[in-house]
Structure 1
Amino acid sequence: MSNALSIRQATPQDIHQIRQFILELAIYEKAEHEVEASEADLHNTLFGDKATAHCVICENDGAPIGFAVYFFNYSTWQGKNGLYLEDLYVSQQSRGLGAGKALLQHLANIAVTSNCGRFEWSVLDWNTPAIDFYESLGAKAKSEWLGYRMDGETLVNFAKTGQ
């Protein structure tokens, strides 16, 4: 890792940059049209009184080049919290500096010092560069589990009617 790289907890002053990273990530994932979060939403969910998600910023010579958003989940089988990485992004012009690895190592340290039993994340099945990178670090795909999601109108209807 370059001595110029540093990682710090995000602050409310980073909201605009965090949203910009989210938009860049969505463009990379061909899903820019799916981004709904406003800066106010991000401020509330990352820094508000009931915030449960956390964000770190990776900087190179003091300039933001990437971020990671994470939260703690729970394993009943382990009886321990886990750390779940929701998003990790390094700006395209800053890739190859070691920022992605530094962000993952930083989060792994948070997981270890928080006595988490695991550190997990998801990756799109077509994102071969990310998959190769994660596997080079020793991470393993969870092939026995399928992810499911309920959102939008389906979530609201199910909550109200059970259908």
Structure 2
Amino acid sequence: MDAAVIDPVRLDDGAVLRAARAGDEPGILAAIHALAAYEKEPDAVETTPAMLTRSLFGEEPKVFAHVVEREGTIVGIAIWFLTYSTWTGEHGIWLEDLFVDESQRGRGYGRALLASLARVCVARGYPRLEWTVLDWNAPSIAFYRALGAQPMNEWTTQRVTGADLTALAE
């Protein structure tokens, strides 16, 4: 079964929440750039439309996206992939990015995107939906708490990149 397949959902205002499909790459990339600007790293995005095509729609995709489309424009994205817990013995979903265009916030799109991932988890028996949030992002933290998300305060994300990654590989 394709991990990204969800039934399209028409939201109250006529917008549609659906799995991303080929052709959505420009809209998804625009949302990624807007997210990077919001997160105060506007020049950090290296992703191209071709990279999104390969990652989301290639022969064996390992990353997936749900989008909210309103009046022909992608206004919200949830980009995610599967994780695995050795403690539960089950997969889960890691939400890499959640973004709703600033002009479209307050319409329930963020909640709808997260709910779509929760439905995937429940339908497939995945016990976890996880993500990170920047410490200074108080509006998002409040939003997540209102949905029942709990912080993992004793866990700190670790990352190895660039020359350190190359050195570790050697």
CA distance in structure 2 between the partners assigned to 1:141 and 1:117 by the alignment? 16
CA distance in structure 1 between the partners assigned to 2:47 and 2:122 by the alignment? 30
Number of residue pairs the alignment of both structures matches: 160
CA distance in structure 2 between the partners assigned to 1:135 and 1:77 by the alignment? 24
Which residue identity lines up with residue 81 of structure 2 in the other structure? F
CA distance in structure 2 between the partners assigned to 1:138 and 1:100 by the alignment? 14
Partner of residue 57, structure 2 = 47
Structure 2 residue ranges without an equivalent (≥5): 1-10
What's the offset of the Cα at 1:153?
A: 2.1
What's the offset of the Cα at 1:101?
A: 0.5
TM-score by length of 1: 0.93
CA distance in structure 1 between the partners assigned to 2:43 and 2:71 by the alignment? 32
Q: Is the 8 A contact 1:15 1:39 kept in 2?
A: yes
Partner of residue 31, structure 1 = 41
Match runs of 1:128-143 below 5 Å: 128-143=138-153
TM-score by length of 2: 0.90
Which residue identity lines up with residue 99 of structure 1 in the other structure? Y
CA distance in structure 2 between the partners assigned to 1:61 and 1:33 by the alignment? 29
Q: 2:74 is paired with a residue of what secondary structure? A: strand
CA deviation digits over 1:12-42, x for unaligned, max 9?
2001111111000000001111111111111
CA RMSD after TM alignment: 1.2
Q: Is the 8 A contact 1:2 1:98 kept in 2?
A: no
Query: Are the structure 2 counterparts of residues 157 and 123 from structure 1 closer, same or farther at C-alpha, using a change threshold of 3 Å?
Result: same
Structure 1 residue ranges without an equivalent (≥5): none
What's the offset of the Cα at 1:119?
A: 0.6
What's the offset of the Cα at 1:50?
A: 3.2
What's the offset of the Cα at 1:132?
A: 0.3
More helix by share: 1
Which residue identity lines up with residue 21 of structure 1 in the other structure? A
Relative contact order (alpha carbons < 8 A, sep ≥ 6): 1 or 2 greater?
1
Q: Single out whichever of 132-141 and 46-55 deviates more from structure 2.
A: 46-55
Which residue identity lines up with residue 126 of structure 2 in the other structure? C
CA distance in structure 2 between the partners assigned to 1:96 and 1:40 by the alignment? 32
Q: Is the 8 A contact 2:17 2:67 kept in 1?
A: yes
Is structure 2 residue 165 aligned with structure 1 residue 155?
yes
Detail structure 1 runs of 4+ shifted over 6 Å in the superposition. none
Partner of residue 92, structure 2 = 82
What's the offset of the Cα at 1:62?
A: 4.4
